Structure 1
Amino acid sequence: MKSFLTCILLITSFLAIGQTKTISGIAMDTTYGRMKVRIVKNDTLEKFSKALSSSIEQADTIPLNILKQKIEVYKSILDDKAYHTLTDSTGKFSIEANINDSLTFSSFNHNPAKYSVKDLLKMSNIYIRLKPIPCEPYVRCKDTIPKNTYAFVAEKIEVKRLNRNYCGIMVMFNGEYSAKYRIVKNIYGNFKSDTINFTAYDHYGKPAFSRHRYVLLFVSQYCNKLIHNQYQYFEVYPTADGRWATPGDPYRYDSYVKEKSIKAQPVMFENKLLFSIKKARKNYLSNYEKPYYQIIHGEARPLLGTYAEDLFKIKKQGALKRLNLK
């Protein structure tokens, strides 16, 4: 039986090799060759990119050598022309693919187009023309002081990137993200709805606050649009007395504040909150130092924390000081 299965696998492998075809044609976007079109087999780059992004989001807890290995694997995929290719200046391309594969054609500010190899083989001449993403006018907000500012503890519902094409702007300096959260507790500004939708901008990728389920966020209203105050947040956890707090040094994100008037205090968190640090990198371990944590068998148990109301005071002393919040 084992030898029979081996034969079947070998036959299948030979059939797959026999079904490999060379797909050649022309792919263009609306720049007519000024920008090249990328052709990717089976969404390989996107799949590896998402996996790598997920690892980078957890970079603090992933051993550095493992993270480097994943980055090297992604680089090798980028260098391997078996998975993808680019058109030349005239739009011509050629790539080897199995008849069961799919090819995705993409270019900056254009809608991608995905075809099965079987469908491409049915075309007498392969000519792919990508359609541009309709651009929308970029209206620069002139507000320097927000109409309203809100601070609240919230639970993540969704955070996703907005791939908008703004007319006349080739590249945005910051990535633009749409965020939807359920408000658990208002701290400042008393936002009226149970849920809030706002826009976040981040130069480094997906906003760091999106890694956590519950966060203390700071959102301001500029030009009738709710905007997250860039990079400002605290991850928070429920406490045994029904409040919200963050463990550790309350000034870990605001070390530059001169007058550190807020002090961490003993806090009992719900569900015996523990953080696994067995695989954490050395520089990450500094976040779990005494007297804020007790380390037992590779786990950090928070001893001291700061309640959300005091965390807001820290931001008023630091990053949000320019807003002159009362």
Structure 2
Amino acid sequence: MNRNYFILAIVVLLTCCKSKEIASNNDFYIENDSINLYAFIGEKISLEEFDPNENNADRIEIDSLTGEKIIHKKIVMDNAFKAKYKVIKNVFNKLKTDTITFVVYDHYGRPKFEKYQNVLLYISKNANEKSFYHQKYLFDIVIKNSNEKWTGTKGQNLKKLFKEKQNGVLKERKVFN
């Protein structure tokens, strides 16, 4: 009987120590799969520009009053890129892969985040649920501090960086209610 208590005590002790180790290595993470958003720290692998209008087909109809042909053209006015990033750390919702490919649209040219080695990126699944797109212009530059923790360039922790976006632009875009 005493032997069983001893084994149980060792198991409990080991479990507690392991939990602290996991908690101390985990800077910040939230999961809410009812929200179409993924935030992660990524490292750039590639960023390739493509023509977003390449496969846009014209829609033609005949005006019922005049009989004239009307051509409807769909034109994307943004530059478009296919980005591939290494997933270093999930911050909001888990990407179940070590690399992620997503589409980036930028009206001002090349995306600003491409200049930095590590960034906190915000992406969502497309309506078809097969591809991802970047939440336009949203990113935070991140670095590892002397304690090996990810922070913003002004020392903000990941929670602060994420909450600023969550309560600001992501709320305005109705990603969060």
TM-score exceeds 0.5: yes
Aligned counterpart, 1:39: none
Aligned counterpart, 2:81: 177
CA distance in 2, matches of 1:178, 1:315: 23
Specify the code of the residue in structure 1 equivalent to 2:141.
E
Report the Cα offset of residue 247 of structure 1.
1.9
CA distance in 1, matches of 2:109, 2:136: 12
Specify the code of the residue in structure 2 equivalent to 1:185.
K
Report the Cα offset of residue 170 of structure 1.
6.4
Aligned counterpart, 2:158: 308
Alignment of 1:162 with 2:50, yes or no, is yes
Q: Deviations over 1:22-59 (max 9, x none)?
A: xxxxxxxxxxxxxxxxxxxxxxxxxxxxxxxxxxxxxx
Aligned counterpart, 2:150: 244
* Long gaps (5+) in structure 1: 1-145, 249-304
Q: What pairs with 1:216-295 in structure 2 (closer than 5 Å)?
A: 216-223=120-127, 224=129, 225-248=131-154
Higher-RCO chain (CA-CA 8 Å, sequence separation at least 6): 2
Give the conservation status (yes or no) of the 8 Å contact 2:43–2:85. Answer: yes
Q: Deviations over 1:170-224 (max 9, x none)?
A: 6421111100000111001011100000001100001111111100000011212
CA distance in 2, matches of 1:160, 1:204: 16
Q: Deviations over 1:214-263 (max 9, x none)?
A: 00000011212311000000111111222111123xxxxxxxxxxxxxxx
Report the Cα offset of residue 310 of structure 1.
1.7
- Computed over aligned residues only, the root mean square deviation of the Cα atoms, in angstroms, reads 1.7
CA distance in 2, matches of 1:187, 1:163: 31
CA distance in 1, matches of 2:76, 2:176: 29
Give the conservation status (yes or no) of the 8 Å contact 1:147–1:221. Answer: no
CA distance in 1, matches of 2:170, 2:144: 25
Structure label with greater radius of gyration: 1
Aligned counterpart, 1:318: 168
Q: Deviations over 1:88-143 (max 9, x none)?
A: xxxxxxxxxxxxxxxxxxxxxxxxxxxxxxxxxxxxxxxxxxxxxxxxxxxxxxxx
Give the conservation status (yes or no) of the 8 Å contact 2:35–2:175. Answer: no
- The DSSP-based 3-state class of the residue aligned with 2:113 is helix
Give TM-score, length-normalised by structure 1: 0.36
CA distance in 2, matches of 1:198, 1:170: 22
Q: Deviations over 1:149-175 (max 9, x none)?
A: 100001000111112412224642111
C-alpha change, 1:309 and 1:147, in structure 2 (3 Å) is closer
Identity %: 32
